[in-house]
Amino acid sequence: MSLETIQIEHVPATHRVHVALFRDVSNADFLQSQLLARNADFEYAFIDASSVASRLQLLSAVYRALTNLIDGTLQTNNVHSEVVISLSPSNNIAEAYRRWGITLGKTKDIVVAKIIYPPSLPSPSEDSTAPAPTLPTTEDIWAHLSENVKGTPVPLSDEQISKSTDWPKLRKYYALNGLPVLAKITDEAAKVKEMERLIIMRMALRGL
Amino acid sequence: MATHAPPVEFALPQVLTYPASTPPFLVAQGAEGRLYKTTHITSSRPCALKYRPSKSYRHPILDARLTKARIQAEAKVLDRCCREGVPVPAVYALDAGGGWLMMEWVDGVPVRQGINVWLGERPEDDAVPDAEVADETPLVDLMNRIGEAVGALHRTGVIHGDLTTSNMMLRPWAGGQSNGVSGEDGEKKKAVGGDVILIDFGLATQSVADEDRAVDLYVLERAFASTHPRAERLFTHVLEAYKQAYKKAPSVIHKLEDVRMRGRKKSMLG
């Protein structure tokens, strides 16, 4: 099973994060249509892998979305779309969906993030005999994902992500072109590391 | 310190009450905030979390507004510095409403400590020049790196506001450039080696006025003289390197003369 369960630091034990990476997805358009239809079965963050630089970047966005979820400060409908906009350095939600979400006819590799958390507790005065809704298990999610995403699952490692990354695009999205700090670095690997650092910083500063 | 009563247990900020691989460690505590060492995303990524607790003596609305504005200002300054290549820690995450800012963890010790190790732990006897005055090059090099860092900062249009040798870290060089030298000499050399990283931008402002830059330098000069009286004469090297790193330095140094004559405050208010 290529669905990874991740323990992120400083996230309540009640919240669970799953991630996966699919290559050469043939039904990206279908997946997008399900998101647009707000089909509750398709509550995932589908992210265009070419707009992702690293695992750390992705998880930083997941962390921010979780923080907003816990604080009740979500800016979008649900925590999954919040993951997508948390990747963006700007407050323009439509633009964030365009750049980091699925693009019709273009998106090939897809990063999936799924956040499982208990629904807000009903007040105790209400019918307490009602059974607590059961949360889907990791197997349930994987079954649904592997059935509906037509692509090749691969582990979500930095190495696999880097194969999809479109750096010229990312440099534009995060305004990294012509930065003095990058001009000074000659080593290619060090440059990528520095860009990742700046990208995470841009994401953290969204909205300031 | 250990002999006194146990330190006051502060209430943790909400964000630190959730599970993490290692418990948060209170590194420092100031009037305005507390600094914890903790982790970001994965257990292998250490970070510093600066938390500004709410002040009960302030009106709640004002309190929330001040805290938020200060966290945001600090994050913006760090972002600007990082993009321009000024050596500062990167911002990992923040919650201005919650009053916290998560930053890159900088390894090493404060410059203050490095210089003191170099000078030895003797009491201040700056009048007596050491007979066996060893080669001072490593310390002079450190002064140069300090000047360079401050020059880069001012070039970017940022005023630190609280430049001291405690607000600069010495991040050890990867290989350790003093290998080959052993014994006490090697240890001392190592103590002043490393990259200078500027930290604590809690009082930083963005300004392009020479006056503000001169005051920044003046604060450093005074702090340096009182923290390291025996190395005071080496401060000129900081200014020299500053001039090299920052092309408008001459007019700032000129202003610095004025500031030295009258002190930090221009307006005599406050």
Question: Would you give per-residue pLDDT tens digits along chain A (208 residues)?
Answer: 789 999 999 999 999 999 999 999 999 999 999 999 999 999 999 999 999 999 999 999 999 999 999 999 999 999 999 999 999 999 999 999 999 999 999 999 999 999 999 987 655 555 555 566 788 999 999 999 999 999 999 999 999 999 999 999 999 999 999 999 999 999 999 999 999 999 999 999 998 8
The CATH code belonging to domain B109-262 is: 1.10.510.10
What topology is assigned to B14-104 in CATH? Answer: Phosphorylase Kinase; domain 1 (3.30.200)
Cβ distance of B83 and A198 shorter than 8 Å: yes
B interface mutation test: which of A55, A70, A208 has the most B CBs within 10 A? A208
CATH 1.10.510.10 in chain B, residues?
109-262
Instruction: Report the complex ipTM.
Output: 0.92
The answer on pLDDT for B111 being more than 70 is yes
Residues B232-258 have a mean pLDDT of 96
CATH 3.30.200.20 in chain B, residues?
14-104
Residues B175-185 have a mean pLDDT of 59
Using an 8 Å CB-CB cutoff, list residues of chain B that contact chain A: 15-16, 18-21, 38-43, 45, 72, 75-76, 78-79, 82-85, 90-98, 102, 104
| Per-residue pLDDT, A134 | 82
Residue with tokens 């916290």: B100
A interface mutation test: which of B39, B83, B86 has the most A CBs within 10 A? B83
Chain B contact set for A195 (CB, 8 A): none
The answer on pLDDT for B132 being more than 70 is no
Active site residue B195: no
Q: How many CB atoms lie within 10 A of CB B265?
A: 10
Nearest to A62 by CA among A2, A22, A20: A20
Cβ distance of B90 and A197 shorter than 8 Å: yes
Cβ distance of B41 and A8 shorter than 8 Å: yes
Catalytic residue among B63, B95, B162, B195: B162
Residues B233-254 have a mean pLDDT of 96
Cβ distance of B83 and A64 shorter than 8 Å: no
Domain A4-165: CATH architecture, name and number where available = 2-Layer Sandwich (3.30)
**Band of residue B129 on the pLDDT scale cut at 50, 70, 90:** low
Nearest to B52 by CA among B76, B78, B73, B31: B31
Tokens for B241, please give them.
């390197």
Q: Could you tell me whether strands A152-154 and B25-29 are parallel, antiparallel, or unpaired per DSSP bridges? A: unpaired
DSSP-assigned letters across all residues of chain A: --PEEE--TT--TT-EEEEEEEES-S-HHHHHHHHHTT-GGG--EEEEGGG---HHHHHHHHHHHHHHHHHT--SSSSHHHHHHHHT-SSS-HHHHHHHHS--TTT--SEEEEEEE-PPPPPPTTS-TTSPPPPPPPHHHHHHHHHHH--SEEE---HHHHHHH--HHHHHHHTT-TT-HHHHT---HHHHHHHHHHHHHHHHHTTT-
Enumerate the domain spans of chain A: 4-165
Cα A62-A67-A68 angle, rounded to 5 deg: 100
Chain B contact set for A9 (CB, 8 A): 19-21, 38-43
Q: How far is A105 from chain B (nearest CA, A)?
A: 33
User: Whole-angstrom distance between the N-terminal and C-terminal Cα of chain B?
Assistant: 35
Residues B156-181 have a mean pLDDT of 84
Using CA atoms of B179, B181, B183, B184 in order, give the dihedral in degrees to the nearest 10: -100
Cβ distance of A205 and B92 shorter than 8 Å: no
What are the tens digits of pLDDT across the range B58-105? 999 999 999 999 999 999 999 999 999 999 999 999 999 999 999 999
| Per-residue pLDDT, B270 | 56
Report how far Cα B88 is from the mean position of its chain's Cα atoms: 9
Instruction: Output DSSP code: residue B162.
Output: -
